[in-house]
Structure 1
């Protein structure tokens, strides 16, 4: 039988939608100008399609910020960054120097941040703050009726956000973000991408490597996601790493005389505070009008583990115990005069992860499993609220979990702390195994979320990789920097709003 003859027009129709828009030149695509917030940096926008399957359709403006290489003669190219989330602003990361890059990087690269679609200045997902505050507490569900009420609320909230946001609401998944990123690479005039992503930003890097392996120069992936996990594995591993961070906090206080809880039964105090929170007896220090729920208390500890801010957490718990109103909270609510709408990037996760839970019995079973894995923390303050918020998302989601299939890239640098509260070390190990020979894993033997900047060893490893493509040896490890020393060096905070606490951010 004769093979059918396929016309060139037909072949192009198949291929073109899969390719990013490639501007003729950077000058044509991005008009840079001094940023209003900081004229020492440049800001610009790049038009990209709302729906990459319809590249000739409606577009929106991807927000950008850039700090040009301080040594033009040594310039290597652009270093594109993403600080995580979902919901972290790459524009703010550049303007405020969140990531603390060394002169080794800033002299050689134009550091470019972008707000992913639906985030910050890039056509943000807009939702009612009042409605967001009405979200059921995911730890308070007691029956199938409560579970049904959660699903009904989620649908009402989704429709509110979709109405306020428009067609982009259903197109914010990371499968589209990586196509935006490739269009940005082309617009910057770089033949290949040099990228640093932390936390959720590693998912962007992982999926970019999978889809565009020949366009990779260097991908530095700091504190890694594992996009292969189903509902049970996702919640279980997040509970485990949250409890691991609590255990490390208790151990630190046990050996550190300056800890406000040194010599105390910390687990006993924590249990009492959780019980008081459940009875409605706790309030945010200095804000007696704001109750602190059980999830709210867990979130305060979880936020402290990012630093880690062990000293501050111990003082906060002592203040809760005594009723002292002068302690500083780890996370704080939105200002009283905040806008009526918020930018809620939860939908990004909901379109990247299928996390089905059939009914209340299954939901309660997840909570019991998590409490057994994490007897102090009970749940992950990030994973469980965002999973609850995504229940009822129409299926199939456009960018569901799968094992990574990376082939043909240069070596990718993955790094993770042993005691990371949010992206647990097993996630990085698993992601590296999935990537295979293209991956090189660097282990930081310490605490907190984000490895870059935690002492000379990991920082130098990232710098060498990004500048000269030199990778650490197999099995490379970096010693921990004590938390007290880290506090003076840097502070890691949440890159976006806290899941389950709408509008709350790091103080």
Structure 2
């Protein structure tokens, strides 16, 4: 916001000068003042590509960019980039840039894995992604491991708990800023929009073909808002609605999505013999486990960690696994082993085990203004969340909002209603009907904001992410990206069989 204010002050001064020049008579003999020179645009050096990845078919490089685009001669950082060339050079259309989610996901890792997109897209496009500023190989936000692990619980009993949260958040921000350097104060998504446009230019593309997933959809939305004339095609998969102003609107909209996913899980158990809780009152079992966790009678698991256990499972969705876990906990047994990680641990540095890469709050708290005054205010917010989501009160969005309490204001990239005009091709939004993190309520609201500039494609199933849910979803999105064939408004794809989603 400080960078934006500098531009506003300069523009206001220039406008005032124009008014005075047009309405008055210059003083005799006084030379006219020269207009201030516009900032010299930053022209990054070209990317030097080298072979990378286990199969040797990927190419990696670094794009040198300014930390603050309003200060092109100031500090710089290296944006880590990876690419897989089109499988058929003769059929190549251009470059498809993937915007990773999180915040904190590595786009370079997605490219090295190489299986995010269909062969049809890989035939026609170079597939490129990057680690956003503050993430992975791009000046990663680095913090003391002990401080990251000591984040207080969002379950706050009184003002003392609230004050302890504020104090911890302040210590963590100061520590991360000192260890990370200037990128920490410039990690907002609007700054990454500028990086994305510089990447487009470095790739030699006159217009951007983009597929953003989850938090990467915010990057796409704001790119389209900033550079609509430079968009060739854009897919927003699992849509983030950045118009939800204030902590209450943000938390209740996220709570509604999480509760909807819990309700889908209960319905699946009720109708599916393979569910370990089939034939039982699933909600009663769940509430009993929550009560035990609150009392400390569920070994190794708090109320927050229990809710996040279910919330993580809804991403898959891994309903059968979750049912087995809950049945075991209810019987007093240890939960069954699983090959799927339950929580996302911050990434340890290669040589310093006292620190971790932890970009989430550094980015998130720069993009969302979620002020909370005191414990009384927080308690009112959580009562609203509990009314909306009685089974899923303390999900990750609540923990994220608690992590931003006491953050400096104004934030760099506050919420606002999306305003995109002048696209040549509508943006394609893609969302599951029952997504726990990017709810269908978010997708429909963003589609309304886009109006004729957006079309929503719905997968009538559950889980976070939709492109790889079914052949119907892949084919529809591929046709749009390859041929600019926009599906009719209201198009849906049926869910895969329930057993496949379990």
Which TM-score applies when normalising by structure 1? 0.89
Report the counterpart of residue 499 of structure 1 in structure 2.
none
Structure 1 SS opposite 2:362: helix
Alignment of 1:72-471 (within 5 A): 72-97=89-114, 99=116, 101-139=117-155, 141-230=156-245, 231-283=247-299, 291-322=300-331, 323-324=333-334, 326-328=336-338, 331-332=342-343, 334=345, 339-345=353-359, 346-379=361-394, 381-409=395-423, 410-471=425-486
Contact 1:174 1:399 in 2 (8 A): yes
Q: CA RMSD in A?
A: 2.0
Q: Note closer, same or farther for the CA distance 1:335–1:92 as it changes in structure 2 (3 Å cut).
A: closer
Q: Structure 1: 5+ residue runs without aligned partners?
A: 284-290, 488-507
Report the counterpart of residue 5 of structure 2 in structure 1.
none
Which TM-score applies when normalising by structure 2? 0.89
Q: Note closer, same or farther for the CA distance 1:334–1:441 as it changes in structure 2 (3 Å cut).
A: closer
Report the counterpart of residue 12 of structure 2 in structure 1.
none
| Offset at residue 335 of structure 1 (A) | 10
Count of residues paired in the alignment: 468
Contact 1:213 1:406 in 2 (8 A): yes
CA distance in 2, matches of 1:161, 1:302: 28
CA distance in 2, matches of 1:85, 1:336: 13
| Offset at residue 10 of structure 1 (A) | 2.4
Report the counterpart of residue 491 of structure 1 in structure 2.
none
| Offset at residue 129 of structure 1 (A) | 1.2
Higher-Rg structure is 2
Structure 2 SS opposite 1:162: helix
CA distance in 2, matches of 1:468, 1:40: 26
Report the counterpart of residue 63 of structure 1 in structure 2.
80
| Offset at residue 332 of structure 1 (A) | 4.5
CA distance in 1, matches of 2:165, 2:309: 24
CA distance in 2, matches of 1:336, 1:454: 28
Q: Note closer, same or farther for the CA distance 1:6–1:37 as it changes in structure 2 (3 Å cut).
A: farther
Contact 1:315 1:327 in 2 (8 A): no
Report the counterpart of residue 492 of structure 1 in structure 2.
none
CA distance in 2, matches of 1:393, 1:335: 21
> Is 1:40 matched up with 2:57?
yes
Q: Deviations over 1:345-380 (max 9, x none)?
A: 21111000000011111100111111111111123x
| Offset at residue 257 of structure 1 (A) | 0.7
CA distance in 2, matches of 1:210, 1:203: 10
Structure 2 SS opposite 1:12: coil
CA distance in 2, matches of 1:334, 1:352: 22
Q: Note closer, same or farther for the CA distance 1:163–1:195 as it changes in structure 2 (3 Å cut).
A: same
Structure 2 SS opposite 1:29: coil
Structure 2 SS opposite 1:317: helix
| Offset at residue 280 of structure 1 (A) | 2.5
Contact 1:22 1:186 in 2 (8 A): no
CA distance in 1, matches of 2:348, 2:70: 40
| Offset at residue 8 of structure 1 (A) | 8.1
Q: Note closer, same or farther for the CA distance 1:173–1:364 as it changes in structure 2 (3 Å cut).
A: same
Aligned match for 1:10, one of 36, 45, 50: 36
Q: Note closer, same or farther for the CA distance 1:400–1:29 as it changes in structure 2 (3 Å cut).
A: same
Report the counterpart of residue 7 of structure 2 in structure 1.
none
CA distance in 2, matches of 1:459, 1:350: 33
Structure 2 SS opposite 1:116: coil
| Offset at residue 453 of structure 1 (A) | 1.1
| Offset at residue 39 of structure 1 (A) | 2.0
CA distance in 2, matches of 1:481, 1:7: 68
Q: Structure 2: 5+ residue runs without aligned partners?
A: 1-19
Structure 2 SS opposite 1:485: helix
